[in-house]
Chains A and B, each alone.
Chain A
Amino acid sequence: MKLGDFGPFVIFAAIYAAGTLGLPRISFLAYQLKIGEMASAFVAIFGFPAVLGLTLGQFIANLGVEAKPIAMISPVISFVGLLAIYYMRKLSTLAGCLVYIAITGIWLTFTLPILNPEVSSSLAALSAFAGQFIAVMVGYLGYLLARRTISSPTQASVRHVPAIPSESNPVATSGLADGGNVPNKR
């Protein structure tokens, strides 16, 4: 990770941690829907800094809300799931998101009854898979919207400014890679 990637890394960590800790909690069956999960699909746009950021964000959020040490393993499981989205982004982001839901859903099915002994395994499975599905798919819709906005013709704003001919630079270039082909007008 380059120093320039530090910004997206921190922003994703903040979105996850603050989204979980700072916003009102949304209960879904036996599971707390996490707003931060909605950012998972954006790994396909922002790449590895987002993977690391969301993992750290989950760690910080769990530091704040979870009561048992097993919850500290959750970020590692999420990291594996996020890697799936990252490596599958060129194939299909949706498939990556589904793999992420499957990985985290299985883990949550296992951990929810440990964190709350009153929750049965079947209720834990239903809550975890459905809760993760809702959160990640809402994020996926946001991702589709963002991707559409990014790929819309804003590229036109990137201008190629012709170089000014001078004594030291007699060949004026168009700013393109093969700029040397442009004839010099004097």
Chain B
Amino acid sequence: MKGFILPAGALLSISFIIVLVGFLYSDTRNWASVISKSLGRLPRDTVIGAFPVDINLTIQLILLTELLLFGGAFGMYFTIRARFALWPPAGAPILDDFIPRIQTLILISSSILIEWSVWQLKRGKDKAFKAGLVGTTVLGSLFPILQFGYEWPRLLLNGILTPADGFFGASFFLLTGIHGAHVVAGVIAYLFVDARAFMGQYSPKNHGFVEATSTYWHFVHIIWLLLFALLWQGSRILG
């Protein structure tokens, strides 16, 4: 198995880096014009379109690498879990799911809002598009604030669950940590999208990056649903 995992991991990392470099190369193509405009070298009403316009292949490759990453993480979780007759193992706490419920609600609301926002952009409703986009960014940023600012400290500082508490604690923090990092990446991407939207770079015909970011966001959302079902809900009943 080791002979397979290491090359697969290396392939995954290399693919991700290639996609990222390619994307950044494409993305920065209009930056010279944007800077020129901000310095007043171009007329104020100059419209600079965002690059890349068509991002389907890029986002498909990114999602593939993400799928492999999370597939490996969930594979690890199920492999460990299958070795235990009882799950969560004896002594593991029953986790309060109040905050994760709020986080789920946040992600559903943000997913619906960004879909609505993209739809508004395609209809040429620029104000509604920007409002939806900002709303999504605000909702999205609440998620890591709740996770890393409240839920994790509550579990760790009160000694309810720590990564040192056996396989359950380790897999809990690993999975929610990887996911949380992806949410933070999504929020950063949305901040870029917001900035470009307010520079007027998107139009009904140029919305590739907005759609790609929303697709990534939906992916992060679906991973959360699996985590919520497995780590909070499933841990109460499945044995």
**Chain A residues within 8 Å of B, Cβ to Cβ:** 3-4, 6-11, 13-15, 17-18, 21-22, 56-57, 60-61, 63-67, 157-159
The reply to whether A11 and B211 contact each other, CB–CB distance below 8 Å, is no
Asked whether any CB of chain A lies closer than 8 Å to the CB of B111, the reply is: yes
Interface centre among B56, B124, B228 (most CB of A within 10 A): B228
Asked whether any CB of chain A lies closer than 8 Å to the CB of B105, the reply is: yes
Asked whether any CB of chain A lies closer than 8 Å to the CB of B218, the reply is: yes
B162 cross-chain contacts in A, Cβ below 8 A: none
Asked whether any CB of chain A lies closer than 8 Å to the CB of B85, the reply is: no
**Chain B residues within 8 Å of A, Cβ to Cβ:** 56, 59-60, 101, 104-105, 107-108, 111-112, 114-115, 118, 123-124, 211, 214-215, 218-219, 221-222, 225-226, 228-230, 232-234, 237-239
B228 cross-chain contacts in A, Cβ below 8 A: 17-18, 21-22, 64
B238 cross-chain contacts in A, Cβ below 8 A: 67
- Give me 30 A-to-B residue pairs in the complex whose CB atoms sit less than 8 angstroms apart, sorted by A's number: A3-B211, A3-B215, A6-B215, A6-B219, A7-B214, A9-B218, A10-B111, A10-B218, A10-B219, A10-B221, A10-B222, A11-B218, A13-B222, A13-B225, A14-B107, A18-B104, A18-B225, A18-B228, A21-B229, A21-B233, A22-B105, A22-B228, A56-B222, A60-B226, A60-B229, A64-B229, A64-B232, A64-B233, A65-B234, A67-B237
Distance, CA A10 to CA B232, complexed state (A) = 20
The reply to whether B112 and A3 contact each other, CB–CB distance below 8 Å, is no
Kindly count the residue-residue contacts between A and B in the assembled complex, taking CB atoms under 8 Å apart.
81
Which 6 residue pairs of A and B lie closest in terms of their CB atoms, listed nearest first?
Answer: A64-B233, A64-B229, A10-B218, A7-B115, A63-B229, A22-B101
B111 cross-chain contacts in A, Cβ below 8 A: 7, 10-11, 14
> Given A63-B230, A65-B233, A67-B238, are A6 and B225 neighbors across the interface (CB < 8 Å)?
no
A18 cross-chain contacts in B, Cβ below 8 A: 104-105, 108, 225, 228
B105 cross-chain contacts in A, Cβ below 8 A: 18, 22
A118 CB to nearest B CB, Å? 17
Q: Specify which of B59, B104, B225, B232 is in contact with A3 (CB 8 Å cutoff).
A: B59
Distance, CA A57 to CA B104, complexed state (A) = 13
Distance, CA A10 to CA B101, complexed state (A) = 17
A66 cross-chain contacts in B, Cβ below 8 A: 237
Distance, CA A173 to CA B32, complexed state (A) = 34
The reply to whether B60 and A22 contact each other, CB–CB distance below 8 Å, is no
Residue ID in chain B nearest A66 by CB atoms: B237
Q: Specify which of A22, A157, A158, A159 is in contact with B104 (CB 8 Å cutoff).
A: A22
Distance, CA A159 to CA B232, complexed state (A) = 49
